Each structure stands twice: as structure tokens, then as C-alpha cells.
Structure 1
Amino acid sequence: MSTPLDFGHKNYNHYGAYLKKKYDGQRVYKIIADGGFTCPNRDGSKGYGGCTYCNVDSFTPELSRRLPTIREQIEQGMERAIKNYRAEKFIVYFQPNTNTYSPTHYLKMMYDEALSINTENIVGLSVGTRPDCIDPEKIDLLESYSDRFDVDLEMGMESIYDDTLLKINRGCTHQELENALILADKRKIDICVHTIFGFPWETQDMMLKYAHEINRFPQIKFVKLHHLHIVKGSIMGSRFAKEPFKLFTIDEYTDFLAEFIPLLRPDIVLQRIFGLSDYELLIAPNWGMKKSQIQSYIDKGLESRGVVQGSKYIPEIISVL
């Protein structure tokens, strides 16, 4: 017997459906651009070595890492998306490292170059960064593109607990995320935050409270939900090799999402519900599936559990910290 999922209908607001509706059924794909940025947690401004879970190469496809210029990255990324996925429109996505960690005039030069390539078919600009690398001038710059493109600012929340942020050498506090969200409030840009679930010292109850914290900021339109994975070249990877700790199995993670997603505001769009690095960099957990297979497995698990986004949303909860 067929289910709604067989026809692409999910009981949560997923990004694919959002893009399809917004762009009248056209196939829209993100094209990753690496601007060669570093991070204040790597260059000594706030620390060295970066966040303990991070190897920046694990978040960027290998082909993008090999390309020397923004133009080549975007042009070749578009060619691959057209050939492999019949893409019609594109969102330029500055992803690796901290993509607002530079003077505003330099950022403008780089964003302008990226958005000048095949302009007719570019519909959006997405910029990934840290909340402590946002200021009013950079918000103004991003908003200046909003009359021509959809603009979203993606910031790593990771955890809502300062104790966790300290343990993972994040180099910023949850209050700094709140400050950035306040700066972006009522501006013509969309906000995405991403989380990491599964730090061994956080309980399930602690992780479920992330939903309530996200809910209280109406300017958050998108979220990316990641499970903790251990990658080669990271500080956490070295520690894990010496003292392994418990990580989510795919069934445990599906069970967790089945509890988490109903708590989220029903209007929030889930851009991603799990994270996955290149397998040559992945240490654990290795679920033995391709990305599409993981997506299908989790979606089927959520459907079988009767998960509906927002079904347990409680508007009265304004703070959990």
C-alpha cells in the first residue's frame, strides 16, 4: 500500500518542497563556493585548532576544494548540477570556514563576483558563518542583495549550552548567537541555524530543549539538524581514537528526531536532518549507506512513527536557559 511519503509528502517542512513551491517547480540547487576564508578560532584571534569536531575539508566536496577560483567553482558546479540533476536555477553557497570573517568591502567584492556568473539563473545567496563574525555593516551588505536575490545567513548554533561550547573549543557563547539574531531581526534576509546532536555529555532531555530555544526566535526560518560525526583531521577524531564514546546509531537518531521534530514551530523549514562527511574522512558513525539511502531510511522511520512537525509545539515556552 502506498503512503504519502511515496509521493514525496513528508510530515515535516523539508527544504526540497519549500524550494519547489517557491520557484514554481523549477529544480534549484546550491553551488558551493570556497572563498578561501579562515576562522577566528583557527588563526589565533580567538584560538587555534578550530572547534574540536571540525575538519573543514569534511564539509566541502572534494571537487570544490581543488578548484582555484570562485568563477571556476561556480561554473563547474553549475555544469555538474545541470548534467546530474537537470538543475535550472542556483543558489550560491559560501560554505567552508567563516564567510563573513573579512572586511566588508572585501566580502562585497567576492559576493559580487559570485553573483555575476550566469546571473539570469542565480536566485539566491547563502552565506555560512559564525555568530561572532556578524555586525551591522555585514548585515547591511547582505540585505543589499535582497532586492535581486533571496539571501540567507547560516550560523552555527551547535549547542545551546555554554558548557558544551567551551568543551568543543567553539570560541563563542550562546549569547553571541542571540546578539546576531537580534541584529538580523526584521531585516530582509532569512536566518538558518545548525545544530549538532550527540555530544556525549548532553542528555536527550538537554538536546530536546534546543527546539524550544529555536522556537523563541521568529527570525529563524531554516534549521539544519546534524548528528555528531567524528572525522579525520579533527581534535575530536584524535581523542576518539584513544577513548571511543557512544554515538548515535541510525535507529537511535531516528528515534531522537521523532521526539525533536514535533517540538519545532511548524513554520520552520528543515534544510537538513542529518550531516554526512566524505566517507574517506569519516571515522564514526558509519551507517553503511549513501546519503540518499540515509535520507530515505530516516524519512520512512519518521513516517512509521507518525511524526508531525509542530504537533507538540508549545508557544508559551520563551526560554529554557
Structure 2
Amino acid sequence: MGTELDSGIKPYNHYGAYLKEKYNGQKVFKVIVDGNFTCPNRDGSKGYGGCTYCNVDSFTPDTARKIPSIREQVEAGIARARKSYGAEKFIIYFQPNTNTYAPTHLLKMMYDEALSIDSENILGLSVGTRPDCLDFEKIALLESYLDRYDVDLEMGMESIYNETLDRINRGCSHEEFLKTMDMLQGTKLELCVHTIFGFPWETEEMMLRYADEINKQSKITYVKLHHLHIVEGSIMGVQYKRNPFKLFTIEEYTDFLAKFIPLLRPDIVIQRIFGIADRELLIAPNWGFPKSKIQTQIDKGLELRGVIQGSMYND
């Protein structure tokens, strides 16, 4: 007998089904663009070295790292998505580093260029940034595209604890995140928040409280849930090699998600439930499976545990 998962129904509000419903069954694919941005805790304005877990190459596809121009990246990304995945429509995704960390007129030039390529098949713009790199002028720029595209703004919350944010050299407090969320209260942009679970000094109880903080923010449309993974080229990678510390196994992470997802507001769309670097960059944890099999194993684990998103949410 088949299960709901066999029918494509997951025990949480997942992004693939959301896109399919939103865009009338069309195959929609995100095309990653590297705008050659940096971050304020890399260039010295707030600090140096970046977040201790971060090597920007670990979440940038190799193709994007090697193609210099925005046009070439978008054209190659669209061609690859059509050939490999049968994609029909596209969302332009400015992902690596902080994609609002530049003067507004330069941001407009870059966004405009990316959106002008195969424009009849581009449905949306997605911009990844930090809470401390937004202001009303940049929000207004993103809102100016809403008459033609769906636009979402992705922000790294990472942790709700300032002690953690300090220890990972985030250069941004949780209060700054909350202040930016207040600034975005009146916007029509869709908001996505990124979290990392598994910092070794945070307990399970501490991590489960992330759900309360996310649920309070009525403007949040999407979340990306990541487990902490250690990559080459990061400060934490050096620390881990010198003195290894406890990280999630896939079973432990599935157990944690089985407790977290029921606490999460049921209307929130989960874009991602784990993150993984390229094999040549990943130090730990190595779960021993390709990305697609990890996704399947976690989904099956959640289904077996009877998980239903929002089943323990208390408004």
C-alpha cells in the first residue's frame, strides 16, 4: 500500500508543491546569480573573516563561481535547468553573500540586467541578504518590481540568541533582525527566514524556541531550515579539525525536525529542511548519501513519526 509521501504529499508545507499550485502546474526553477557582493563582517565595516561557519563557495554552484557576468550566469542557468529538469519558468535568485550590500542605483542595474534575460519566462526575483543591510530605499527598490514579478527577500536569522551570534562572528544581533522585521511590516514583499540548528552549545529546548520567534512574525512566508555542517575554508572548519565537536546524525536531525515542524505555523512554506555543501568542501557531518536521498530519508522519517506541520502550534 502506498503512502501520502509516495503520492507527493509531504508532512509539511513544502516549496515544490507550493510553486506548482501557485504557477498552475508549471515547472519553476531558481537560477542562482552571483553578483560578486561581500558582507559587512568580511570587508571590515563590522568585522573580518565572515561568519565562522561560512565559506561562500560552499553554497554557490560551481557554474556560478566560474562565470563572470550576470548575463552569462542567467543564460547558462536557464539552459541547464531546461535541459536537466524540464524547467519552464524561472525565479532569479541573488544568493551568495549579501545581495543588498551596495548603493541602491547599482543594485537596480544588476537586478534589471538579470531580469531582462528571457524576461517572458521569468516569474520572480529572490534576494538573499542580512537584516543589517536593508533600509527603506532598498526595500522600495525591491517593491518597484512587484507590478511585474513576485519578489521575496531572504534574510539570515541563523539563531535567536545573541551569545550564539557573537560566537559565530555574525556581526548582527537578534535585536537588529527584529528591528528590520518591524521595518518590513507594511511591505508586500514575501519574506523568507534562514535558520541553522545544531550549534553545539545550544540545547534542543533552545532550538525549539526558534519556532516561537518565527511564528510571532506574521510577515514570514517561507523558512529555510538548515543543520550545521562544517565546510573547508571556514573558521569553524579549522576549529572542528583541531577539536571535533558533536554534530547531528541524520537520524538525530530527523528526530529534531519531528519536534520542530509541528510547532511551526501551518501557513509557512518550508523551502528547505537541510543544507549540504559540495562533496569536496564538506568536512562534517557526512551522512553518506547524495542530496536527493537525504531529502527522501528525512521525509520518510518525518512521515513515519506522524509529523504534521502546525499540529502543536498555539496561536
Which position in structure 2 is the counterpart of 1:242? 242
Which position in structure 1 is the counterpart of 2:288? 288
Q: What is the Cα deviation at residue 186 of structure 1?
A: 2.5
Deviations 1:150-204 (A, max 9, x none): 0000000000000000000000100111111111113110000000000000000
Instruction: Give ranges in structure 2 of 5+ residues lacking alignment.
Output: none
In 2, Cα distance between equivalents of 1:65 and 1:8: 33
In 2, Cα distance between equivalents of 1:114 and 1:182: 29
In 2, Cα distance between equivalents of 1:272 and 1:181: 21
Letter of the 2:291 counterpart = K
Which position in structure 2 is the counterpart of 1:183? 183
Letter of the 2:131 counterpart = P
Which position in structure 1 is the counterpart of 2:62? 62
Which position in structure 2 is the counterpart of 1:232? 232
Map 1:195-234 to 2 at 5 A: 195-234=195-234
Deviations 1:108-140 (A, max 9, x none): 010000100001000000000000001000100
Contact in 2 for aligned 1:139/1:183 (Cα 8 Å): no
Which position in structure 2 is the counterpart of 1:262? 262
Letter of the 2:116 counterpart = S
Letter of the 2:24 counterpart = D
In 1, Cα distance between equivalents of 2:15 and 2:28: 11
Give the alignment's TM-score, normalised by structure 2. 0.99
RMSD: 0.5
In 2, Cα distance between equivalents of 1:302 and 1:235: 33
Deviations 1:274-298 (A, max 9, x none): 0011110000001011111000000
Deviations 1:211-259 (A, max 9, x none): 0000000000000000000000000000000000000000000000000
In 1, Cα distance between equivalents of 2:314 and 2:212: 8
Deviations 1:15-48 (A, max 9, x none): 0000000000000000000000011010000000
In 1, Cα distance between equivalents of 2:239 and 2:186: 42
Which position in structure 2 is the counterpart of 1:103? 103
Give the alignment's TM-score, normalised by structure 1. 0.98
Letter of the 2:118 counterpart = N
Structure 1 stretches of 4+ moved >6 Å: none
Letter of the 1:223 counterpart = V
Contact in 1 for aligned 2:11/2:299 (Cα 8 Å): no
Instruction: Give ranges in structure 1 of 5+ residues lacking alignment.
Output: 316-321
Pick which of 180-189 and 249-258 moved more: 180-189
In 2, Cα distance between equivalents of 1:298 and 1:44: 39
Answering whether residue 6 of structure 2 is matched by residue 6 of structure 1, we say: yes
In 1, Cα distance between equivalents of 2:65 and 2:118: 21
SS at match of 1:270: strand
SS at match of 2:127: strand
